[in-house]
């Protein structure tokens, strides 16, 4: 009876492990983290026999590295480092794990430096020293070119100094920037669609374009609204109105967005009438 229970638990943990691997392949990082956490929290419980825990060492190791990979993709380098550090203790001779640990450590260091530069830039901005703020945000971007917050904040500085073209450019980057790995994946998907040749024939699911996990819905809303105001200053009224509508999809009851909507709509209609007369 005890043996049957152990077998049942082993199958359950393997099922979670297999599902976690699938989630990781599909870039469903939060789902993968959830499955890996279930394994790691429950496989060490008293209900699991010592023999089963020893036999599951490989699954435990994979759970740490998979969860560490997900945290890395999400930009949570501190948690990623903890998981890879734990994995490195279990497999100190594994060169791939040690290389990944070094990569996470490098990104963690850059993130800490980037956060310091962002805070410095924020202080410059509050003191209306926009040139210094732009410089500090630019240095932060050089450390982490995939962080949309840096572009969004620098865009706000450009808006303050009246450089609306650069403001729009940074808003565009904030909404679209990806890691080199994800950029490569986008290129592969586009090539597959163009040629009809699947570079991964074993994968039967339709490929999904990778997205930047750091670009939260709240941040998207702010960037769209920021770009809308910049477009309005450039007298690009239809583009401004379109961005206000995009921002409104995230927070329909937001008072600031409603106010901007009422301001932008007449300008858009006037612009259309002007074009008809021409």
Of 87 and 264, the structure prediction assigns the larger pLDDT to: 87
The model's confidence at residue 2, banded by pLDDT at 50, 70 and 90, is very low
Tokens read off for 173? 């980057």
User: Which is nearest to 166 in space by CA: 220, 180, 174?
Assistant: 174
Domains of the chain, each with CATH number or no CATH: 2-93 (1.25.40.10), 109-177+212-277 (1.25.40.10)
CA 93 to chain centre: 31
**pLDDT (tens digit, 9 = 90+) per residue, 81-96?**
999 999 999 999 999 9
Computed over its alpha carbons, how large is the radius of gyration of the chain? 24
Residue 123: its pLDDT value, please? 96
The CA distance from 55 to 17, in Å, is 14
Please check the confidence at residue 120 and state whether its pLDDT lies above 50: yes
Residue 1: its pLDDT value, please? 42
The CA distance from 66 to 206, in Å, is 22
Q: Which residues contact residue 214 at a Cβ distance below 8 angstroms, ignoring those fewer than 6 apart?
A: 74, 75, 146, 147, 148, 149
CB 60 within 8 A of CB 90: yes
Q: Which residues contact residue 30 at a Cβ distance below 8 angstroms, ignoring those fewer than 6 apart?
A: 70
Give me the percent of the chain exceeding a pLDDT of 70: 84
CB 138 within 8 A of CB 153: no
**pLDDT (tens digit, 9 = 90+) per residue, 196-222?**
656 555 555 666 777 888 889 999 999
The CA distance from 32 to 11, in Å, is 18
241: enclosing H helix or E strand: helix 237-250
Mean pLDDT of 113-118: 92
CB 136 within 8 A of CB 104: no
**pLDDT (tens digit, 9 = 90+) per residue, 53-75?**
666 888 999 999 999 999 998 88
**pLDDT (tens digit, 9 = 90+) per residue, 224-259?**
999 999 999 999 999 999 999 999 999 989 898 888
The CA distance from 152 to 176, in Å, is 12
**pLDDT (tens digit, 9 = 90+) per residue, 133-183?**
999 999 999 988 999 999 999 999 999 999 999 999 999 999 999 877 877
Mean pLDDT of 25-38: 94
Backbone angles phi, psi at 124, to 5 degrees: -60, -40
CB 105 within 8 A of CB 80: no
- Summarize the chain as % helix, strand, coil (round to 5): 80, 0, 20
CB 248 within 8 A of CB 261: yes
- SS3 call for 199: coil
CB 237 within 8 A of CB 272: no
């Amino acid at each position: 009876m005890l043996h049957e229970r152990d077998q049942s638990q082993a199958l359950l943990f393997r099922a979670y492990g297999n599902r976690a691997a699938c989630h990781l392949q599909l870039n469903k990082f939060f789902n993968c983290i959830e499955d890996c956490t279930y394994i790691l929290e429950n496989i060490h419980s008293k209900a699991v026999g010592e023999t089963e825990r020893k036999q599951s060492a490989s699954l435990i190791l994979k759970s740490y590295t998979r969860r560490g990979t997900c945290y890395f993709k999400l930009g949570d380098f501190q948690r990623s480092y903890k998981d890879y550090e734990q994995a490195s203790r279990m497999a100190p001779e594994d060169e791939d794990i040690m290389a990944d640990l070094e990569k996470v450590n490098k990104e963690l260091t850059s993130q800490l430096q980037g956060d310091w530069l962002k805070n410095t830039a924020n202080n410059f901005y509050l003191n209306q020293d926009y040139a210094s703020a732009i410089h500090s945000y630019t240095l932060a971007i050089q450390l982490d070119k995939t962080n949309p917050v840096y572009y969004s904040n620098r865009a706000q500085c450009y808006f303050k100094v009246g450089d609306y073209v650069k403001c729009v450019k940074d808003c565009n980057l904030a909404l679209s920037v990806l890691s080199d790995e994800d950029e490569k994946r986008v290129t592969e998907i586009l090539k597959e669609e163009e040629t009809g040749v699947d570079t991964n024939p074993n994968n039967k699911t339709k490929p999904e374009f990778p997205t930047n996990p750091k670009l939260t819905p709240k941040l998207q809303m702010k960037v769209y609204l920021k770009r809308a105001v910049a477009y309005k200053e450039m007298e690009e009224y239809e583009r401004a109105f379109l961005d206000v509508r995009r921002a409104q999809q995230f927070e329909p009851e937001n008072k600031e967005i409603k106010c901007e909507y009422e301001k932008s709509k007449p300008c858009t209609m006037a612009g259309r009438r002007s074009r008809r007369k021409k």
